[in-house]
Amino acid sequence: MSYRPQQVILNFHGIGTPTATVPEAEKPYWIGEGDFHKLVSDVARQAREMNLHLLLTFDDGNKSDIEIAAPLLKDLDLPGIFFPCTGRLAHAGYLDAEDLRTLAADGFGIGSHGVDHLPWARLGREELKAEIAGSKATLDQILPAPVDIAALPFGSYRQAVLGALWRAGYKQVFTSDPGFSRPGHWFQRRFSWHEGVDFDLERLTKTHSRLKSRLIGEAKKLLKSMR
């Protein structure tokens, strides 16, 4: 049986030239504007040919979300979700409350990426609550509808993080674990763009198909050994 994914989510951060305020560690995740246009156009065509639902997400809430990403997505009629950090809203180079309302009114999704861009797996209970419930409270005040999706900063999580998200009222979590996911499911895997990565959808499908059949094969062997 061959593996046929339904949906692919590609994740981006900033687009264009990183501003001086962008932390050094985030710079390899910035893509040039021309490269972004070409990549998204190519991938959109490939997804149509493969009958694959394509969703683009953008973490960190950089100003390029509304200046570069949203206009291209509108042109290509592609869905997008933006995950800002509420602690950076209205800072130089980042989205503000009005930008979020504009993006939401244009039909894009808005989710939480926490407050201060911290690795959630390493936080204690109270800090985690401040990041997860606190960012949601801020976004809920800005937007007309409650926010119920989150993207994990640094892709960092453990069981307690997922529990805290669920208790705070989130219905979907977007990870940085590479792979395909089904629309609407709780756990959404994403392929994140960074310098040198290849987003060819045929190749990604083949790689993950092999990985999946190997995992199923190993699970079967394990079950046999337990009988």
Instruction: Tell me which residues touch Zn ion (CB under 5 A).
Output: 59-60, 153
CA distance 197 to 173: 23
DSSP 15: B
CA distance 157 to 120: 6
Q: For residues 5 and 153, which CB has a smaller minimum distance to Zn ion in the complex?
A: 153
For the bound state, the minimum distance from the C-beta of residue 135 to Zn ion, rounded and expressed in Å, comes to 12
For the bound state, the minimum distance from the C-beta of residue 11 to Zn ion, rounded and expressed in Å, comes to 9
Give one DSSP letter per residue of 170-195, joined into a string.
Answer: --EEE-S--S-B-TT-SEE--EEP-T
Largest CA distance in the chain: 61
Indicate the residue type of 156: S
Q: For residues 5 and 114, which CB has a smaller minimum distance to Zn ion in the complex?
A: 114
Residue nearest to Zn ion as judged by C-beta position: 59
For the bound state, the minimum distance from the C-beta of residue 60 to Zn ion, rounded and expressed in Å, comes to 4
Q: For residues 111 and 153, which CB has a smaller minimum distance to Zn ion in the complex?
A: 153
Q: For residues 60 and 131, which CB has a smaller minimum distance to Zn ion in the complex?
A: 60
Q: Which two tokens stand for residue 169?
A: 């009222």
For the bound state, the minimum distance from the C-beta of residue 113 to Zn ion, rounded and expressed in Å, comes to 6
- Backbone conformation region of residue 62, classed left if phi is above 0, alpha if psi is from -120 to 50, else beta: beta
